[in-house]
Chains A and B, each alone.
Chain A
């Protein structure tokens, strides 16, 4: 998760802020104009970092919201006087935000490469709309002759015609945008955005509606870009369709990456250094004849930067994320051991459940009843359809036919996150956690998933409860000593335990574990099976496992799947004696063993 900026970073930003505040006194008109432009670009690219670096959405059309903000000033400015900035600026943000809501609702459906191309295409769509039609002067662009003023109740407080006044307004807005985004990113909402960046599937499985989160991130970033756009239009008083162009979006991405994506302050440094670099390369006095081919020179420098320092300027200011950087975790040893009375497990039933892939029937007509507060083992040879069954039960896949009921309620048509919100949580065959987060942060985000108002910006409300749940879960799986360790630094076994801790912290009442013992040593296996027995006190546990000794020891009932069909279901004793099972499954086990 995004750390608080390091002391070095705060010093650098402080020095820059002081330098920025002194610019109007020390520099001439040209310097102020240049610095204003940098500030405006910085606001723009900080908002882009919310998408690229924080949420992991690489938008190649962010300039369209910048441009819409700029055009908003043209639309709102009266002919003969300046617009009131207190109306015009929010209007620009609103226009950009509404456009982002419409465009984002389609764009956010896609991911990865598609998202890049789709945002690029939408940017071009708006470009051609403003270029081909007569709106605001069409391809020629339009002038805004009178700069906006800031007035309240009819009294004019500031006139933005004055360069220095306008400059300080921009500086204040940049500081506000940066601090506002920093707070946002460090809020529970921002925690989810970062989780989506690193492991969207995990967040969806925890019960977050990731579509809504991504769309909100898109809209917020666009509104701030719209603010930057309206400021930009105020600088020169000129707007043109080129503002929408993909070139602008590309340069903004350059600034973000040059400065260091995902740090929020990095892009500010990126905007500054990119602008200075561009200015130097364009000046014949500095670089001689290269000046006429400055964009080629810029291209080569950027390639060197991308290949040589992919983490940008912020990368070597902020350093690597260390373990135990914050040990604000509450006293773990005092974590309350919960009594069994915290609700009971859920009852899960399936009826004629089937899943067909093309010609292959992976799950065929499975009717089962998983009683609450028991450990249910599911066994079967490879390819028996165990994982497919789990995927159906958790909504990761849609069944071809059949029904599923949770505590008697039909859940066949529920989406993955809806099922998760109703208290079903799963672990995966391949460990599925958020690697760049610490163990505690992983559990905190899991705990957040099941709280009322998971989507919230304030930290205070449920923070204590979530911390307690995370601490309880980590304690339960025996990870107390590793609370503040980044998950990617944990051993394989510890990562598997962390995933179980996340399920516990999520408050789910039905846990589905896909081979939780895989890759664990005997000691860890013993601890985890004991944990599963404890969990059954107030959870229903479904367990898929290849470790026969462990599963026969821990399970209350066993279900045997072979080639997608339900072969047998009963207590471990019944299964052990079932001739069909012996023939089809355990028998074959014996054969291969004796053959080897």
Chain B
């Protein structure tokens, strides 16, 4: 009987620990949600009274036609959805060549590209600010897209290399023997086989662009301002309006959360970075 007892205690302990993790991760978000559903313009302490007065007023204010939120959201959508396919495709071509084709000094090139991932953005943002000022790219979609593409490229290349390497080589060899050209092998065989990996890479790059702050802060002003930058500068007419800011935060995370939930299964699979070698 003792064995059953310890097993039960263990299971209970297991669920308690999981529960504590979830409280830690989720409670702040629920708190933010509650904050966004209360009006009054100031931080409201948690109470039962609070729960009976929930309303959508903050969301109505944020979603008024022609509001700043819409302009920022539009910029974020344009920038993120232009950067994502650009980076994924350029990254996939590069990754395929590095994984499968004969590239001179491939190893050096690989390390060179990856090392960019570890460069603090603050180191490039200042010279980029000068460069963009000269080229008239400050506060433009194109400017942000180019920066985001550059700094997400290493991540895309890295993950795509491990995706391509997971394809059994025999498949590609068979296609070559059947008379496909190298490019046809890439386009018709390898490319379709890594679609799952590409979806994960695309999701992560989209999130990175959607949430990025430092480059947006330094390189945009009014016209191309993205959501995080708009939120960081948000001050209402009567000082900071916490309820409205919470509503914007919630609206900002919605599209990301929904997509992430849909792709959840693939996310775990795609993240080994080729680092498990038995």
Do A and B pair up? The answer is: no
Interface residues in chain A, defined as those with a beta carbon under 8 Å from any beta carbon in chain B: none
